[in-house]
Amino acid sequence: AKGGRETLGATGIPFGIDPDRSYAIAETVLASGDTLFMFTDGITEAFNPAGEILGEARLDNILDRERGGAAAELVEKVIGATAEFAAGAEQSDDITCLALVYRG
């Protein structure tokens, strides 16, 4: 809500890869107006026809530009920007994201 960004660290392998694996628990505190944005690597690893990768820096720019909106709008904007960047290039991975805006 105050314009900063915190990246949550990994606590293990991606959830669901190994159902018998235990996972560490981590916590963070959201303040009113904070947004939690989660995504699969298919977004940051999306390619355009020139073979360039979307990458984390471009995703950060999208998130900065769309800051302060509703969760559904943020997801729509990120998916749309990813598709625009890919410009019809073949999708090589799932493109999934989820946003939560805490209004507390």
* pLDDT, tens digit, 9 for 90 and up, residues 33-68: 999 999 999 999 999 999 999 999 999 999 999 998
Residue type, 74: L
The reported pTM is: 0.87
Tell me the mean pLDDT in the region 72-97: 95
* Beta-carbon contacts of residue 53 (< 8 Å; ≥ 6 apart): 44, 45, 46, 47
> Are 48 and 85 a contacting pair, CB within 8 Å?
yes
- If pLDDT is split at 50, 70 and 90, which confidence band does 14 have? confident
Tell me the mean pLDDT in the region 58-86: 95
